[in-house]
Amino acid sequence: MKIDTSSTQNTNQLVSQRRVINAPADTMLQLLPYKYLWAPEFFDKMYANSWHPAEINLNEDAAVWKGSALTDQEREVFLRSLAFVSNLDTVQTYSLAHAISKHITAPEIQLLVIRQLFEETIHVLSYTQMIELLGLDPENTYGRYRHDQALKRKLDHICEPINALLDPNFKTGSFEDNQKFLEALVNNILLEGVFFYSSFIMFYALARNNKMLNSARMIGLINRDEATHCGLITLVVNAMVDENPELWTTEFQAKMIDMVKRATDLEIEWGKAIIGNGILGVNPENITQYIQFLADTRLVAIRLPRQYYVENPFPWVDDFTQIDQELGAFFETTVSRYSQEAPTFEQSSLDW
């Protein structure tokens, strides 16, 4: 996309043509008046959630890691979980920067994706800090997929729709390519809203047993961000479907349901591979139910039917992800939220 100043259209004309993709690109990033009225809320929310990994003191966790408090199984669970989330945020950073953002033509969504990309970068830096301060072998985290087949299968599955967009000849505009882009967005929801979670739960299970508390605090901040990103991309998917209902065929919906079910199976497989017969209250039965619950939640959010009809077996996860509340029962560290005053916006009226 080039920076273009040749347009002679006025503001209302530009905004009235605004679409998620395939609209005249507003390269001046003219936000007002907003077409997508949920955009200012997400700007405010993401800004208020700002944090930096240096806020989390991992010295106590380093002492626990180097001591004898952790069992061999707990160490392996921690390492495999860290390996996957670090790989996954790397994939997401690359996906947003090189596969998704360049095809979006709505400026408010472009800026939200850029902010999301910044937050993914913070996550990558967070894992780097954990690896460094705990004295871990980078090859055993970043490169673990090279000898962990369950991990490699997950990564290959996640990367397939992304790689389709990375083809240098790919361009939205045709029915087939628009569906490919929509599929990549749904895959992004699964990346943010399903694939992280069997690993996240392991950090929280350790913390509930008073182990690696500040690592779990950092993961809770990352989890909070990912939940926000999942909500954002869900709105983008629904907006794109509303603008292009011809893409949302019965066959395509069935394909998306199958994709969610495949993602669910892979995440359950990974969760079971991590925990074996069970650890710290997490067992094959409840990790299965948890991932199925998450999958149903994501399906309903994009207007597709539930497939599993199960309840959340781990409601206590919220204790770790609602970081803006006091977590004194779990943590005794510094405040993790800047709590900036987010700016407010006046929304001009415009009929669509």
- pLDDT greater than 50 at residue 351: no
- Whether residue 262 contacts residue 295, with contact meaning beta carbons closer than 8 Å, is answered with no
Cα dist from 14 to 100, 109, 176, 341, whole Å: 22, 15, 26, 31
- Helices 213-243/175-190 angle, 10° precision: 160
Predicted local confidence at residue 149, as pLDDT: 83
- pLDDT greater than 90 at residue 235: yes
156-186: b or e for each residue (b if 16 or more CB lie within 10 Å)? ebbbebbebbeeeeeebeeeebbbbbbbbbb
In this structure, which amino acid lies at residue 268? I
In angstroms, the CA 226 to CA 200 distance is 11
Q: In sequence order, what are the beta bridge partners of 125?
A: none
Q: Backbone phi, then psi, for 14, in 5-degree steps? A: -65, -45
Chain segment 114-135, per-residue pLDDT in tens: 999 999 999 999 999 999 999 9
* pLDDT band of 332, cuts 50, 70, 90: very low
Segment 97-102 shows an average pLDDT of: 91
- DSSP sequence for 136-153: --GGGTTTGGGT-HHHHH
Active site residues: 127
Query: How does the average pLDDT of the chain come out, rounded?
Result: 86
In angstroms, the CA 254 to CA 210 distance is 44
* pLDDT band of 1, cuts 50, 70, 90: low
- pLDDT greater than 60 at residue 349: no
Domains of the chain: 11-321 (1.10.620.20)
Chain segment 277-309, per-residue pLDDT in tens: 888 889 999 999 999 999 999 999 999 999 999
- DSSP sequence for 163-201: HHHHSTT--BTBHHHHHHHHHHHHHHHHIIIIITHHHHH
Segment 73-86 shows an average pLDDT of: 92
Nearest to 103 by CA among 305, 217, 240: 240
In angstroms, the CA 174 to CA 160 distance is 20
CB atoms within 10 A of CB 213: 21
303-315: b or e for each residue (b if 16 or more CB lie within 10 Å)? ebeeeeebebbbe
- Whether residue 292 contacts residue 310, with contact meaning beta carbons closer than 8 Å, is answered with yes
In angstroms, the CA 202 to CA 279 distance is 9
Which range is least confidently modeled, 13-22, 209-218, 322-331? 322-331
Predicted local confidence at residue 348, as pLDDT: 40
Predicted local confidence at residue 144, as pLDDT: 86
Predicted local confidence at residue 343, as pLDDT: 39
In angstroms, the CA 114 to CA 243 distance is 22
Q: Which pair of tokens denotes residue 328?
A: 């004194």
Predicted local confidence at residue 329, as pLDDT: 38
Chain segment 151-203, per-residue pLDDT in tens: 888 889 888 888 889 888 999 999 999 999 999 999 999 999 999 888 899 99
Nearest-5° Cα angle at 248, 225 to 290:
40
Q: Which pair of tokens denotes residue 213?
A: 């508390």
- pLDDT greater than 70 at residue 344: no
Which range is least confidently modeled, 125-129, 144-148, 207-211, 263-267? 144-148
- Whether residue 238 contacts residue 230, with contact meaning beta carbons closer than 8 Å, is answered with no
Predicted local confidence at residue 318, as pLDDT: 81
In angstroms, the CA 281 to CA 90 distance is 30
* pLDDT band of 323, cuts 50, 70, 90: low
* pLDDT band of 24, cuts 50, 70, 90: confident
